[in-house]
Structure 1
């Protein structure tokens, strides 16, 4: 299955387009030069022709894509995961943690945290105490960011106490990606409960970036 997708991507490699894509990602990863709209179309065709979405969720396929050098392969893995969200179970969370902590950057983490991790935690809330709690209180930048963002799409189902506790735990961080995540989470939740977010921001010593981002809609 993997070799089919590799063939499709290689046929559409564009070295000229790859250069600005790599620059945009601070040259952390090499690219094939397949832009997002084209990649999504190619992956959609691959899904249709291979029938992989009709099969059980394939961790091996995801891991194989994650090990590939060019970044588009990780994006294809994310496309597959997002299209397979309803098949994800509690036992898939360690895989997602592995992906969050491997080849880590905002472009992958910001899909993994609010989508598949958020979906699993919604269906199996016991994983919060069992695993995500350790993310929020641990030393890994991207797991900490994920703990702040996993409820991003929860709206009225947001565990407000948990969100604020994880933010308070991480508010002293000097890391841009933590401060930005705090602001993003607050901004998103303010669409549901602006009064609560306003009160929290006013009563909590947060980084200026977090306050600026979190206050956009209140």
Structure 2
């Protein structure tokens, strides 16, 4: 059975032109959309992902084909699939994952791939070498991924890395970078308010107004 064609049939059957217009406008027309809201979309491929878990093997051929599509629903399927199959992802898969991160870029896909790489970094120290390189990348989406990769880490957060990646990106005029810095600080402040408060105080003149506002939300 061709799983891509199966997905295609399901997506087309569930498409909604009005929702499609809204979604494409929200994504600034970077992608096409069938117009399927997230809960319904996830239900369409729920069993497919369950089957993949039982097989304990990632179908990279399917994922690659989906990522090549112009329709955002396929990209979201790939992202949901990767999160569900994270236990089967290894360092050897990083080149494929990097390809996904560098293509079909927008904040919604980058922020999920951030979780994928973050989870992997806890299992394999070699991933940190990649993230360190990306924190200086010319592509600001890759820098965003690096800055945010410790979201949700709580006590596992490496504050030296958090500080380093943020300070490598201060002075940026890019909204998505300054937002990422703020989110990274805000997230860690839920676990360690003192560290974040001190960091913002010590680097107040270097941080953007947006980063400070976002980072201070829970202080």
For residues 62-91 of structure 1, the C-alpha deviation after alignment (integer angstroms, 9 at most, x for no partner) is 111101111111001111111101111111
Deviates more, 1:91-100 or 1:29-38: 91-100
Which residue pairs with 1:92 in the alignment? Answer: 93
Structure 1 length as normaliser, TM-score? 0.95
For residues 36-84 of structure 1, the C-alpha deviation after alignment (integer angstroms, 9 at most, x for no partner) is 1110111114435xx2332211221111110111111100111111110
Alpha-carbon distance in 1 for matches of 2:79, 2:207: 32
The 3-state SS of whatever aligns with 2:168 is: helix
Which residue pairs with 1:4 in the alignment? Answer: 6
Structure 2 length as normaliser, TM-score? 0.95
Alpha-carbon distance in 2 for matches of 1:212, 1:96: 32
Which consecutive residues of structure 1, in runs of 5 or more, have no partner in the other structure?
none
Alignment check: 8 A CA contact 1:5 1:46 kept: no
Alignment check: 8 A CA contact 2:49 2:84 kept: no
1:72 aligns with 2:89: no
1:18 aligns with 2:20: yes
Structure 1 stretches of at least 4 aligned residues deviating more than 6 Å after TM superposition: none
1:141 aligns with 2:140: yes
1:111 aligns with 2:107: no
The 3-state SS of whatever aligns with 1:170 is: coil
Alpha-carbon distance in 1 for matches of 2:210, 2:218: 15
Which consecutive residues of structure 2, in runs of 5 or more, have no partner in the other structure?
none
Which residue pairs with 2:61 in the alignment? Answer: 60
Alpha-carbon distance in 2 for matches of 1:198, 1:94: 37
Q: CA RMSD in A?
A: 1.1
The 3-state SS of whatever aligns with 2:70 is: coil
Count of residues in Structure 1 that have an aligned counterpart in Structure 2: 214
Alpha-carbon distance in 2 for matches of 1:4, 1:159: 43
Alignment check: 8 A CA contact 1:93 1:120 kept: no
Which residue pairs with 2:215 in the alignment? Answer: 214
